[in-house]
């Protein structure tokens, strides 16, 4: 096995682990989920998400944050779950229906192009961007799209893998240091507020639109 083949194998294994983790959410109890990997309800509540808010989950995957957002904003709120993988959106759609969270709207979109989400400019209160920036070559485009759809003084949470090597997660070379995330956000007009505890493997940075 060559070095390149080895790297591809490791990346493939990592993706499979994360897919298994996301899929497992649909079969474990809510209580176990709340005590699990990232504790989405706690993190989002600490970000200030509240009833009737209009929010988005960028790179929603199988809905780890989207479902928690739906519960927090309630029936009077709105959650846009945005991903480029239609199969992942199908999982969210089914879970939202099962949980009677009709306020969750899955959207297929490419967030690496300008205006990719197709959401109305200046219409949202909050956007969560979790574990997608490290994968993208268009990090600022993604952050600019979040800024575009947020209301004045709206907030984003950038959640990424800790820069220190951990058992789970991508290679250290792909991880985004906190200071780099802060710099990227500042370039597109966000001001840093604070860090929120996101567990052993991740960090969560809260920013506000200027």
Is residue 27 within 8 Å of 45, Cβ to Cβ?
A: no
- Spatial contact of 139 and 145, defined as CB atoms under 8 Å apart: no
Q: CB of 132 within 8 A of CB of 111? A: yes
At residue 173, φ and ψ (nearest 5 deg) are -65, -20
Q: Give me the pLDDT at residue 166, please.
A: 78
Q: Please check whether residue 60 is in contact with residue 83, taking contact to mean a CB–CB distance below 8 angstroms.
A: yes
pLDDT at res. 21: 40
For the chain, how long is the longest CA-to-CA vector? 55
- Work out how many domains the chain is built from and give that number: 1
DSSP SS3 for 102:
coil
What pLDDT score does 52 carry? 98
Nearest to 155 by CA among 47, 51, 83: 47
Per-residue pLDDT of the chain (210 residues; tens, 9 = 90+): 444 444 333 443 344 434 434 433 333 334 334 444 668 999 999 999 999 999 999 999 999 999 999 999 999 999 999 999 999 999 999 999 999 999 999 999 999 999 999 999 999 999 999 999 999 999 999 999 999 999 999 999 999 999 987 788 999 999 999 999 999 999 999 999 999 999 889 999 999 999
Residue ranges making up the domain that contains 113: 3-209
CATH code of 32's domain: 3.40.50.150
């Amino acid at each position: 096995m060559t070095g390149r083949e080895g790297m591809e194998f490791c990346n493939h294994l990592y993706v499979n682990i994360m897919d298994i983790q996301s899929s497992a959410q649909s079969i474990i109890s809510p209580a176990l989920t709340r005590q699990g990997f990232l504790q989405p309800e706690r993190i989002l509540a600490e970000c200030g998400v509240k009833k009737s808010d209009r929010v988005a989950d960028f790179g929603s995957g199988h809905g780890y944050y989207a479902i928690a957002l739906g519960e927090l904003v309630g029936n009077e709120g709105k959650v846009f779950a945005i991903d480029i993988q239609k199969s992942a959106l199908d999982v969210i759609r089914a879970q939202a229906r099962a949980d009677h969270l009709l306020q969750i709207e899955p959207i297929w979109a490419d967030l690496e192009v300008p205006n990719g989400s197709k959401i109305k400019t200046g219409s949202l209160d909050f956007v969560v961007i979790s574990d997608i920036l490290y994968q993208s070559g268009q990090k600022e485009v993604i952050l600019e799209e979040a800024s575009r759809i947020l209301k004045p003084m709206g907030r984003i949470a950038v959640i990424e893998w800790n820069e220190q090597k951990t058992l789970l997660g991508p290679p250290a070379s792909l991880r985004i240091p906190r200071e780099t995330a802060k710099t990227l956000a500042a370039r597109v007009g966000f001001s840093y507020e604070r860090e929120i505890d996101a567990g052993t493997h991740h960090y969560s940075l809260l920013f506000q639109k200027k």
